[in-house]
Amino acid sequence: MHRVAHVSRWLPALLAVGLLLRADARAEPPQRAPVAIPIPIQPGPAPPLTTEPLGARERRRAVRFTVALPEPASQYVEVTMTVTRATRRATSIAMPAWIPGSYKIRDFARHVDGLRAETLDGRPLAVHKRDKQTWTITNRRRGFRVVYRVFADELSVRTNFVDAQHALLSSPALFLYLVGQEARPAEIELRLPPGWRAYAPLPTPTPDDPTPRYLAASYDELVDAPFMLGRPDARHFSIAGRRVELLLSAVAGANLELDRAAAEARDIVVTFSRLMGGLPFARYTMFLEAGPHGGGGLEHERSAMMMVQRDGFSSEGGYARLAHLVAHEFFHLWNVKRIHDRALGPFDYTREVHSRLLWFHEGFTETVENQALVRAGLTEPQDFLSALAGAWTSYRRKPGRDHEPISLVSHDAWTRLYQSSARDANTLVSYYEKGHLIGVALDLELRLRAGARGRRGSLVGVFRRLMASHGARDRGIDLDDIIAAASAEAGEDMRWFFRRHVEGTTPLQLPPLLEAIGVRVINRAPWEPPPPDPQLPAPPPEPPSPDLERLRTWTGMQLSGTRVHNVEPRSPAAIAGLMIGDELIAIDRRRVDSQAAIEARVADHRPGERLVISLFRDGQLLERAVVPALNPHREFSFELIDAATLDPKVLRLRDAWLGTCDPAGPVNRCVLRPPAP
């Protein structure tokens, strides 16, 4: 997204990162950090971000929006757009087709209703709708006003939702813009139902005014600011003068303990502050909507909008999911909002904006997110490894994991990942999923290669370098910039890695890297029991488990209920001629009426034993003979090797990776050393 601020806006972050880059990075043990001062959690919202009112000249240039909700239960938002200074005979206005951070055409204009235009003294003006999202107003160089409504019934982090109790407003789905004049500042005034309050990450020139008013330096800045209206509960804290607030909107209640969520968010923020050498904001808002279902998150330059299931916190798993969500969206402050592909700003809001770096912006964010939670004390190192093993096992089972380069998968996200088709399971992989594993592999490569040279290198070091060279200077990046930063971290040219795994389809080799850093890799067939703990006496031998033995049989057929959802290429099901969409009704002439029944009947056969499947296809009753094969998939486990048995150099590398080397860190976790200059 286009950044309107000057370099001076980023000067504190630039100086902080610059100091990190100049710091000594010899491979001697890290110095003990001072014990962190406790950071209290305060009730209520953080003090607002204030700004001076616009001067007379800028006020004439500004586009003024008035937003009203006179009848919230109708789910309509009434918007008035006022343009005082208009220099064109005919002025075009438009509604974005998409929202930055979510790579799908959403056509927000379809929610616009009753749009009309008038002069500033109320006389009607002619309006011509040019296309699905653009209108032209014949204003003859005079100021004008546009009045319209937006229907807000879609509860998500990307869209507008209003009901009788609260509202979540997404700026690109609400505010029109002047085509070709997006750099003009914007003033926003909110007229709320009685008892409601407004929260937004924009500065206000009138903090004590009961009518909420905000300023945005440009339309791009306005688009990057969501609004939460209603009566949310709030907590806030400060770190080195940077204010962070957590707002919880739970109109139907939630079993989330807000104080705990705020404390864990604080630990995440502290960890990222230490990892990245400071925080690049004055005030940051975490919007949290607790609703009937989860909805993920969406990053913004001074905030994040997140959705969780309101009843999802009866176990530790709910808090773990929230911690991952907070960490992921918070690291986007650096990766994508400041360190961003050159293609991602300034934006064309009318069409797709393609990026070949989404594996970096989303996948690598997931890599750092997981590491940060270990350093924050919210994930134990072995739990981190177990989750990584699960991710690797799942990834290895995807037929499309190496079908095409991940850079191309990123580019085609608009039309492939978010417009799925039946072929995707065999020809596509998520840039989140594969990007994360590429990030893990790169991080380990950098640590091992830098360590062999007596240096320290890491993936976080790559981000610190890119923040100093590009993000803090408001410069976009390309793949060559990432390669240069990675090469500087490793102390050698790393282009080969990206040529193989980003621009090519060479299979990732994660297990050998893990073994080199002190992690035991267990690679077994699905029917083999997990190996015994090497630290315990060997148990007596046991006969094979019948349940596990049934996992030997494999057809390559994936089901959704009784229908075939996917057929893996060159699998027994593919050789037999099964097709996506086939409805299975019998196996060996015995009726099956559920997915569980089908899987059980198939597992009754050993590899090589023929079975006959009866099915319906386009209304025809057919039979297909399938000869199952031995299951080719593998189950992976990753475990810590006993530290006493490791070479001290390997142990230091592993400790640095898993954040266990600095007991005086802010939350009893290691903070990475600054990279070599």
In tens, the pLDDT along 11-57 reads 344 444 443 443 333 333 333 333 345 899 999 999 999 999 888 88
pLDDT in tens, 579-609: 999 999 999 999 999 999 999 999 999 999 9
Beta carbons of 300 and 337 less than 8 angstroms apart: yes
Q: Is 165 exposed, middle or buried (0-12, 13-18, 19+ CB in 10 A)?
A: middle
Structure letter (DSSP) for residue 174: T
Q: Rounded CA gap, 389 and 385, in Å?
A: 6
Tell me, yes or no, whether 532 lies in a domain: no
pLDDT in tens, 255-265: 999 999 999 99
Alpha helices in 23-99 (DSSP H): 56-61
Determine the pLDDT at residue 23.
36
Residue finishing a domain among 316, 344, 371: 316
226 & 250 share domain: yes
Beta carbons of 674 and 658 less than 8 angstroms apart: no
Determine the pLDDT at residue 542.
75
In this prediction, residue 245 has a pLDDT band, given cuts at 50, 70 and 90, of very high
Model confidence at 341: pLDDT above 70? yes
Give the chain's end-to-end CA distance (angstroms, integer). 30
CB atoms within 10 A of CB 463: 25
Tell me, yes or no, whether 327 lies in a domain: no
Beta carbons of 553 and 546 less than 8 angstroms apart: no
Angle, to 10 degrees, between the axis of helix 364-375 and the axis of helix 316-331?
Answer: 120
The length of the chain, given as a count of residues: 677
Question: How many domains would you assign to the chain?
Answer: 3
515 & 568 share domain: no
Beta-bridged to residue 247, according to DSSP, are 234, 287
> What CATH number is given to the structural domain containing 141?
2.60.40.3650
Residue 626 lies in domain: 548-630
Determine the pLDDT at residue 641.
95
Count of H-run helices and E-run strands, the chain: 19, 31
> What CATH number is given to the structural domain containing 470?
1.10.390.10
Tell me, yes or no, whether 379 lies in a domain: yes
List, as one string, the DSSP characters of 279-341: -S-SEEEEEEEEESS--EEEE-SSEEEEEEETT--SSHHHHHHHHHHHHHHHHTTTBTTTB-B
pTM for this entry = 0.92
Determine the pLDDT at residue 532.
78
Tell me, yes or no, whether 425 lies in a domain: yes
111 & 240 share domain: yes
199 & 312 share domain: yes
In this prediction, residue 473 has a pLDDT band, given cuts at 50, 70 and 90, of very high
Residue reference for tokens 């898993």: 658
Residue reference for tokens 């296809």: 617
Range 560-570 average pLDDT: 97
Tell me, yes or no, whether 454 lies in a domain: yes
Tell me, yes or no, whether 325 lies in a domain: no
Residue finishing a domain among 316, 343, 367: 316
444 & 587 share domain: no
Tell me, yes or no, whether 601 lies in a domain: yes
Which element (helix H / strand E) includes 80?
Answer: strand 76-83
Q: Rounded CA gap, 665 and 659, in Å?
A: 9
- Residue 521 exposure: Cα atoms within 13 Å on the Cβ side: 15
260 & 122 share domain: yes
Q: Rounded CA gap, 171 and 79, in Å?
A: 12
519 & 566 share domain: no
561 & 618 share domain: yes
509 & 578 share domain: no
CA-CA distances (angstroms) from residue 583 to 568, 578, 599, 610, 629?
17, 10, 14, 19, 22
> What CATH number is given to the structural domain containing 604?
2.30.42.10
Q: Rounded CA gap, 463 and 144, in Å?
A: 46
Backbone angles phi, psi at 80, to 5 degrees: -120, 125
3-state secondary structure of 127: strand
Determine the pLDDT at residue 503.
98
pLDDT in tens, 365-393: 999 999 999 999 999 999 999 999 999 99
Residue finishing a domain among 316, 347, 378: 316
103 & 133 share domain: yes
Q: Rounded CA gap, 338 and 269, in Å?
A: 17
Structure letter (DSSP) for residue 43: E
Which element (helix H / strand E) includes 615?
Answer: strand 611-617
496 & 554 share domain: no
Determine the pLDDT at residue 37.
53
432 & 482 share domain: yes
Tell me, yes or no, whether 573 lies in a domain: yes
